[in-house]
Amino acid sequence: MPELPEVETTVRDLQKKILGRKIDDVWTDFQKMIKKPRDFKDFKKGIEGRKIENIRRRGKNILIDLSGNKALLIHQKLTGHLLLGKWKKKGNIWLPPPGPLSEKVNTYIHLLFTFDDGQQLALSDLRKFAKAELLNKDELKKELSSLGPEPLDKSFTFENFTEALSRPRGKIKQVLMDQTVIAGIGNIYSDEILWRAKVHPFKEISQFSEKELKNIYQAIRKTLPLAIKLCGESISDYRTLSGETGFFDKARKVYRREGEKCNRCGTVIKRVKLAGRSAHFCPNCQKL
C-alpha cells in the first residue's frame, strides 16, 4: 500500500503538472470505486468543468481541491497508484504510449480524468480496492477528522509525539500504523523506523524510556524525508506519476529482507506475524 512517502511524492508531482487545469471528462469501468456520491453520473456531473485549485496530502489520502467548494479525495489503498499521460481508448481498454506507462503494473486503469490540455490522470489498481470521493469542504473535514498528526509537520515536536503515544496501548509497530495516532505510516515504514531506532516491533508502549521514544521520533523524522527524496518504495505495485519505480529500495534495511543479513550487525533478519501483518526486524539490534 502506498504510504506517506509514496503519496507525498505523487502529490508533489501533481502540483507541478496539473495545478490550474480544468477537468473536461471522467471515465470509469468500475463504479464501485466511486464511494461518494454513489451514482457515477452524479460524480461525473459534479466534477466536469471544475478547476484544480490546490493539491495536498492528509495521511495516505490525496486531496484535490476544486473550484466551487468541492474536493476530490483519492485513497490508493493496497495496489492503486496515479499516473499522468495520454492514453488511446480501444473498446473499453485504455492503451498506453510506449515507455514506463506500458509496464503491466500500470495497465489496470479503472478511473481516468481528462484535462483541458489533453493530459489524463489515471488510477491503475490491480485489486480494485482504491476509492474516490467528491465532497464539499465540510464533508472533507469530517472525513479526515479521525486522523492523527502529520509526522513531517513542523508542529510535530517530540512533545507532540509523546502525547500522541500516551493514549493508545499495545505493541509499538501496531501503534505506529494506527492512523488515528500518527497519520501516514504503514507496514513498510514502521519496520524501517523501528530498525533505525533499534526497537523491537513487539515492545509494549508502556515499557518505553524517554531515550527510546526519542530514538523512534528521530527515526521517523529521518526515514520519511529520505523515502520522499528517493520517490518512495516500489517493491510492490506503487509507481510514480510517470509510471517509473521509486528508489527507496536502495535504502531499505529490513522490510521484506527476511533471511538476509542485517546491514548493521550481520544477524539474519526475521519476519514474524503481528495481528495479521508482517513485522521484519533484526533480533540482535532490536532486542525485546
pLDDT of residue 273: 95
The domain that holds 24 is classified in CATH as 3.20.190.10
Average pLDDT taken over every residue of the chain? 97
Query: Same domain, yes or no, for 183 and 135?
Result: no
pLDDT of residue 257: 98
- pLDDT greater than 90 at residue 1: no
- pLDDT greater than 90 at residue 108: yes
> Is position 86 within any domain?
yes
> Is position 16 within any domain?
yes
Mean pLDDT of 200-221: 97
> pLDDT (tens digit, 9 = 90+) per residue, 235-265?
999 999 999 999 999 999 999 999 999 999 9
pLDDT of residue 131: 98
Confidence of residue 275 (pLDDT cuts 50, 70, 90): confident
What percent of the chain is modeled with pLDDT above 70? Answer: 100
pLDDT of residue 78: 95
pLDDT of residue 276: 87
Query: Same domain, yes or no, for 196 and 131?
Result: no
Q: How far is CA 52 from CA 43, 71, 74, 97, in A?
A: 16, 9, 14, 25
Query: Same domain, yes or no, for 136 and 250?
Result: no
Query: Same domain, yes or no, for 91 and 42?
Result: yes
Query: Same domain, yes or no, for 18 and 122?
Result: yes
> pLDDT (tens digit, 9 = 90+) per residue, 44-65?
999 999 999 999 999 999 999 9
- pLDDT greater than 90 at residue 19: yes
Per DSSP (E only), the strands in 93-143 are 93-95, 109-115, 120-125, 131-136
Confidence of residue 26 (pLDDT cuts 50, 70, 90): very high
Mean pLDDT of 121-140: 97
Query: Same domain, yes or no, for 112 and 234?
Result: no
Rg of the Cα atoms in the chain: 20
C-beta separation of 152 from 4 below 8 A: yes
Residue 48 lies in domain:
4-143
CA distance 179 to 151: 11
Q: How far is CA 70 from CA 66, 209, 223, in A?
A: 5, 45, 34
Query: Same domain, yes or no, for 52 and 166?
Result: no
> Is position 166 within any domain?
yes
- Of residues 198, 148, 146, the one with CA closest to residue 175: 148
Query: Same domain, yes or no, for 71 and 182?
Result: no
Query: Same domain, yes or no, for 165 and 62?
Result: no
**pTM score over 0.85:** yes
- pLDDT greater than 90 at residue 115: yes
The domain that holds 189 is classified in CATH as 1.10.8.50
Q: Please state the domain count of the chain.
A: 2
Q: Which residues are annotated as catalytic?
A: 2-3, 60, 277
> pLDDT (tens digit, 9 = 90+) per residue, 148-185?
999 999 999 999 999 999 988 999 999 999 999 999 99
> Is position 287 within any domain?
no
Which amino acid, 30?
F
- Of residues 53, 38, 125, 119, the one with CA closest to residue 86: 119
Cell 495516532, residue located: 181
Mean pLDDT of 96-109: 97
- pLDDT greater than 90 at residue 189: yes
